[in-house]
Every structure is written in C-alpha cells, then in structure tokens.
Amino acid sequence: MGPFLLVIALALVLVVFGAGMLIQEHGRRVDDGVAVYGVDDAVIYVWERLPAEMVSSVDRADIRRMLEWEMVYLQQPAKRDGPAVVGGVDAAEFVQESAYASGHVYEPEAIFTVLDLQADYLRAIGAVGSPVDPES
C-alpha cells in the first residue's frame, strides 16, 4: 500500500498545483479596460497591413525601429512644441533624423505608412480616440 499512497499523494499535489496556476492565469486575463501597447503586437499588426510594394524595402526590424523611435518622440515633450500627434509630421521627422543618426535610411513614404499603421493599431486596441478639435 505504501507506493500506492505515494502515487495518490503526488497526484493530489499535482492537481492542487495545476488549480493554483489556472487561478493565477485567470487573474492575469481580467480585462480592466486598460489598453496595453505591445511592441511585438504592433510590429505584427503593421507588417500584416504593409502595402505589397513596401514589403521589399522594409522588414520587421525596420518597423520595430520606427515604432520605437516614435514612442521615444511621443514620450519626450521637450522635443515638440504642441500636443503629441501619433503619426504626425513632427514624429516622422524625428524618426527620419533618428534613422540617419543610426545609419539607417528610410524613404519618407515608408515612415509615414508605418506610423499611420501604428496609429491604426493604437485605435484598434483603444489606446487613442478620435482627433481632438482644436476649437473646443
């Protein structure tokens, strides 16, 4: 009976451990309405929607670089004169300057396309809303 009880005890420990993991994972997946930006998710989103003519000149690493540079720009208010505009001309200029400084050259059209698709991604996850009317 000794080995049989040991097997039962180990099975019980395994079931309790598994139940604990399920409870922990369920707690992580609670949707509290907060948008979470994931760079990997954004890269995939942009890559899957990139126009066919641009796929040969821009790869996933390029997209990641552009997205990261725009996030740096958006997180540094001292680098801009007004409110942050996702995919704006100022952000694109910052991305272009950062690209040149690090030895990467991207066509302006590629930068604007990537930043526009990132703006679409941010809208899709609920991180940004409609444009603000400057008159109100």
Q: Tell me what pLDDT residue 74 has.
A: 85
Q: What is the dihedral of CA 104, 105, 108, 109, to 10 degrees?
A: -90
Under 8 Å between Cβ of 60 and 47? yes
CA dist 2 and 100 (Å) reads: 72
Residues composing the chain: 136
Element (H, E) at 85: none
Q: Tell me what pLDDT residue 129 has.
A: 67
Would residue 87 be called left, alpha or beta, if left means φ above 0 and alpha means ψ between -120 and 50 degrees?
A: left
Output the DSSP codes for 53-72: HHHTT--HHHHHHHHHHHHH
Closest CA relative to residue 40, chosen from 52, 30, 48: 48
* Single-letter amino acid, residue 124: A
pLDDT 10s digit of each residue in the chain, 136 long? Answer: 688 888 888 888 888 888 878 777 766 555 566 677 888 999 999 999 999 999 889 999 999 999 999 989 888 877 667 777 778 888 899 999 999 999 999 999 999 999 999 999 988 888 876 666 667 6
Under 8 Å between Cβ of 83 and 51? no
Q: Tell me what pLDDT residue 18 has.
A: 83
Q: Tell me what pLDDT residue 89 has.
A: 87
Q: Is the pTM of this model over 0.95?
A: no
